[in-house]
A and B are shown apart, each in its own frame.
Chain A
Amino acid sequence: MLRPATSWRWCAALLCLALALPVFAQSPAESQPSDTQPASQPASQPVSQPATQPVSQPTSAATSSLPTTTTATTSTTTVATTQAAPEKERFLAVINGRVHTVTGPVLERATVLSRNGIITAIGEHVVLPPECVVVDATGLEVYPGLVAAVAGGLHGVNQPRDTTNVYALNMAIALAGGITTALAGNDVAKLTYGTTQDLILKANAYLNINYATRSPLERAQLRADLERVRTYLRDVQRFEREKAVNKDAKPPDKEWLKEKYENYRKLLAREVISVATANSTHELADLADLAQTYGFDLVVRGAVEGWTVAPALGRAGVRAVITPRDERAPDDRFNRPNGSSIENARILHTHGVTVAVVPPTAAITLWGLAGRDLLHLNMEAAFAVRGGLSNDAAVRTITIDAARVLGVDDRIGSLEIGKDADIVVCDGDLLHYMTQVRYTIVNGRVAYDKAKETLFAHIRPQGKPEVPQFDDYWPRRLQWVGE
């Protein structure tokens, strides 16, 4: 169909692209000199330290201990490669805020710079490129975007990639609550207000093993199935060893390895994370035993009585999604601790369980009692503090640990170079009841600006405690914005 002239044009375009590509491909390598390597590594690769590192320090601590000169080099290199890039680059910087990196220390008056939605520099003397969107966070607190480990109604119900209403009120409210990522069906999706770009962070996050709805016999069947798959995997290993010495060695039969067995194989190979709902002591103990015996990644939702079996859950590496406010009366007929405990989050965390916190209603509600829906995710974490959890650990339950529960802690959950630029700027401590979100940034774009949205703009507009006086009530006048 192409006329000669057109095809020549195509060839020329391809040639240009080919010339441009090496330069473009080079830029990430340039922008990450070798001494910044640990910082740019995602948290899921903890041991890939370069040989030059004398002491294997934990990756999380390395983030913010970057020498500032290196950071500056990073940003200038980024600017240099701008011309070669095919699309216009997006820069966004949050400047002069008190930056809580979550996996590292707190930086006073620091800047977080992102390029095309990825954090490229964190530090005190970051050189900003021209045409950079600047969010002034002077006197404000900067946190990573909050993560809702369970959520509903923020994205489209079926295939969120195609059905999410990116201008929905629910999404705006959740952004006002500081949430930037949420579970949508079985996908992990960003709250990309006004765009569909990079909406899905991870498709098919979980394998649901339907534990809660299984009868005791079916639970026994689950265990038997896992046993069969584990035996198969061991046979495969044995075959791999024998193959070298014995040419007649036969691989184990795998005709049966379909459907649920294939899912269990993926599970035991740690290719997927399983999820189960369980609240009572005996269910949790059973699941902990399963996870430890067969060695797979398990997320338990509920875990009201988790504090009674916390050591077992911790040993098995189980991750938990809990609601600190959940209440269940103890049953005195049992001669053991049972029922709910406000200390649940603290006890689980102490025993090494990765805890994510969700509010009682994991959705945005416009009815009933306020303060129990996703708008108040940070308040739910504050309830964990009430039960004895430290402030820092409580912040983790709605950021990095929630991201780990979703299996996306290599991309989000903390402010680190190389991670997604999902940032919350708020006017006080994240867990304080008066704190309000001023800006929410998703993928390096300002998705929520309190002053421009009609939701909360009128409440403490300058972040000051005094309440503004209005001449009228409705419609709200926004004249004081920017005064």
Chain B
Amino acid sequence: MTSVPQSCGLSLKRLARGAGVAVVFMLLAAPVLCADEPERLTVIRAGKIITGTGEEIHDGVIVLNGAKIQNVGKGLEYPLNAKVIDARNRVAMPGLINPSSRFGLSGYHRAEVHGNWTVADEYFPAPDAYDELLDAGYTTLALVPGGGGIPGRAIVVHTAGAQEQRVLQAPAYLRVTPDKRVLRGALERAQQEIEKVEKAKQEFEKKQEQERRAAPPASQPASQPGSQPTSVPATQPAFQPPPIDPAFQVLVDLIQKKPDVFALLELGSASDYVHFSEVLKKFDVAHQFLARNGQQSDFTFIAEQIGAKKPRVVLQPVINRAPNSAERIHVVRQFAQAGCEVSLMPLADDAEEHRQMLGRIALLVREGWTRAEALKAVTLHPARLLGLDSRLGSIEKDKDADLIFLDADPLDPLARVREVMIAGEIVRRVEVPQ
């Protein structure tokens, strides 16, 4: 892959002169001279573009305008002054997204409810902290708070780029570990806080009403003019709600159905889903699930009933064994077919498992999952889970130019990530041993 703009431009000019070859090329990508186009675009000509929406374009063009994708397709026109990157020996696809990780963060022992804590408090990465994940093709991580109970809220970050531009979303979702008692207790407590505020408001309004009734005979006798200076204030005092315990504020928001926050409920086993469902029947809060099917395989029991609710579910890329049996079962496919929108997280939170991700997805496809669904599960679906699908997850118009370039199809066992682009900048080139 050559990204030297001068030489590319020159070679194009030379091609434009040699008409015979140029005709073939013009079909694929046509540079047109637009004199009134002041900005300079970047054009990537890729051997194959996996857009992440299920579409695959051979010999396509991605037009970048700064950090954004301006257009993607086949045989697009672009101005002659565009910087052209020749990636015809590469497969371009959206950068991978890990929806739940603690990579690079230290261990934590927390319990109970800490809704006011976010990973932003502990996120001070070294510039190269996530280089290994870049090598694996990951451009975005949701970093979750550590510990048990309800340890706090996640943040979404880029794995490279300028330090101040790395954080994409803070705070993001609320992490809930598999502990029914803590979740139920926290929501009950949040409900109490809501009732406390409402009660205070009612009392305030009652008091206001009483004062208003007392006010009409406010024609004070002139004998005591200065004794009651504040009896009839010029403006009504605003209601001051009693303070809510900050650790429970996010749970109050959840109960009150505020947008932009949801709980990611982690499931250690199928039974946890049954227990959480009991709590969710009482408190209808926005939630999605994360099921660690790499550790416990009995999730097959709940695939149907969880799928009926059409949630977004984070799973791990493994073929499971049926509980207490030797039978191999495809739990990931079961969840997808039942109606869940499946995202995948690495089997373990280390660099190796991040590197293995595409290979494991290939296994899932080999065992009968669709290729398009499998690729979406590490790109578009986690972006939707995080609520960032307007920016991330696919190669589409107006999305961020977070791309990875592989030297073969991503599900080819020999494929390697060779270049990683975040926000239109190549941030990593992977050295291949000769």
Q: Are A195 and B326 in contact, with the CB atoms below 8 A?
A: no
Binds B, one of A31-39, A104-112, A162-170: A162-170
CA distance A398 to B184 in the complex (A): 36
Q: Are B271 and A1 in contact, with the CB atoms below 8 A?
A: no
- Take A1-B256, A196-B275 as given contacts and tell me if A165 and B269 are in contact as well, using a CB distance cutoff of 8 Å: yes
Q: Are B181 and A162 in contact, with the CB atoms below 8 A?
A: yes
B434 on the A face (CB < 8 A):
no
B301 on the A face (CB < 8 A):
yes
CA distance A39 to B180 in the complex (A): 39
CB-contact partner of A165 in B184, B271, B327, under 8 A = B271
A293 on the B face (CB < 8 A):
no
B274 on the A face (CB < 8 A):
yes
A216 on the B face (CB < 8 A):
no
A482 on the B face (CB < 8 A):
no
B2 on the A face (CB < 8 A):
no
Q: Fill in one digit per residue for A8-37: 1 if any B CB lies within 8 Å of its CB, else 0.
A: 000000000000000000000000000000
CB-contact partner of A167 in B180, B184, B269, B278, under 8 A = B269
The closest CB in chain A to the CB of B183 belongs to A162
- Take A159-B181, A162-B181, A167-B269 as given contacts and tell me if A194 and B327 are in contact as well, using a CB distance cutoff of 8 Å: no
A368 on the B face (CB < 8 A):
no
What's the tally of chain B residues with a CB closer than 8 Å to chain A?
19
- List residues of A (274-288) whose CB comes within 8 Å of B's CBs: none
B253 on the A face (CB < 8 A):
no
B112 on the A face (CB < 8 A):
no
- List residues of A (214-255) whose CB comes within 8 Å of B's CBs: none
What's the tally of chain A residues with a CB closer than 8 Å to chain B?
20
Judged by DSSP, the binding face of B is helix
CA distance A475 to B328 in the complex (A): 10
- List residues of A (405-424) whose CB comes within 8 Å of B's CBs: none
- List residues of B (296-324) whose CB comes within 8 Å of A's CBs: 298, 301, 322-324
B224 on the A face (CB < 8 A):
no
A454 on the B face (CB < 8 A):
yes
B325 on the A face (CB < 8 A):
yes
CA distance A195 to B256 in the complex (A): 28
- List residues of B (166-193) whose CB comes within 8 Å of A's CBs: 180-181, 184
CA distance A159 to B323 in the complex (A): 25
Q: List, in ascending order, chain B residues with CB within 8 A of A454's CB.
A: 322, 324-325
CA distance A159 to B325 in the complex (A): 30
Most buried by A among B269, B275, B324: B275
A474 on the B face (CB < 8 A):
yes
Q: List, in ascending order, chain A residues with CB within 8 A of B298's CB.
A: 167
Q: List, in ascending order, chain B residues with CB within 8 A of A163's CB.
A: 180-181
B270 on the A face (CB < 8 A):
yes
Q: Are A196 and B278 in contact, with the CB atoms below 8 A?
A: yes
Q: Are A169 and B181 in contact, with the CB atoms below 8 A?
A: no
Q: List, in ascending order, chain B residues with CB within 8 A of A1's CB.
A: 198, 256
Q: List, in ascending order, chain A residues with CB within 8 A of B322's CB.
A: 454
- List residues of A (434-483) whose CB comes within 8 Å of B's CBs: 454-455, 474-476
Q: Are B323 and A474 in contact, with the CB atoms below 8 A?
A: no
Q: Are A167 and B323 in contact, with the CB atoms below 8 A?
A: yes
CA distance A197 to B322 in the complex (A): 25
The closest CB in chain B to the CB of A169 belongs to B324
Q: Are A166 and B274 in contact, with the CB atoms below 8 A?
A: yes
CA distance A195 to B305 in the complex (A): 12
Q: Are A167 and B270 in contact, with the CB atoms below 8 A?
A: yes
Q: List, in ascending order, chain B residues with CB within 8 A of A475's CB.
A: 325-327
Q: Are B271 and A167 in contact, with the CB atoms below 8 A?
A: yes
CB distance from B331 to the nearest CB of A (A): 13
CA distance A331 to B284 in the complex (A): 65
Q: List, in ascending order, chain A residues with CB within 8 A of B326's CB.
A: 474-475
- List residues of B (221-272) whose CB comes within 8 Å of A's CBs: 256, 269-271
Q: Are A167 and B301 in contact, with the CB atoms below 8 A?
A: yes
CB distance from B394 to the nearest CB of A (A): 36
The closest CB in chain A to the CB of B277 belongs to A196
Q: List, in ascending order, chain B residues with CB within 8 A of A169's CB.
A: 323-324
CA distance A196 to B277 in the complex (A): 9
The closest CB in chain B to the CB of A197 belongs to B278
CB distance from A195 to the nearest CB of B (A): 6
Most buried by A among B198, B256, B324: B324
CB distance from A365 to the nearest CB of B (A): 15
The closest CB in chain B to the CB of A1 belongs to B256
Q: Are B275 and A168 in contact, with the CB atoms below 8 A?
A: no
| Sample (5) of A-B pairs whose CB atoms are under 8 Å apart | A162-B180, A163-B181, A166-B274, A196-B278, A454-B322
Add 20 more A-B contacts to A167-B298, A455-B324 (CB < 8 A): A1-B198, A162-B275, A163-B180, A164-B271, A166-B274, A166-B275, A167-B270, A167-B301, A167-B323, A168-B271, A169-B323, A169-B324, A172-B324, A194-B274, A194-B301, A196-B275, A197-B278, A474-B326, A475-B325, A475-B327
Q: Closest 7 interchain pairs by CB?
A: A165-B271, A475-B326, A162-B181, A162-B180, A167-B270, A166-B271, A167-B298
| Residues in chain B within 8 A of chain A (CB atoms) | 180-181, 184, 198, 256, 269-271, 274-275, 278, 298, 301, 322-327
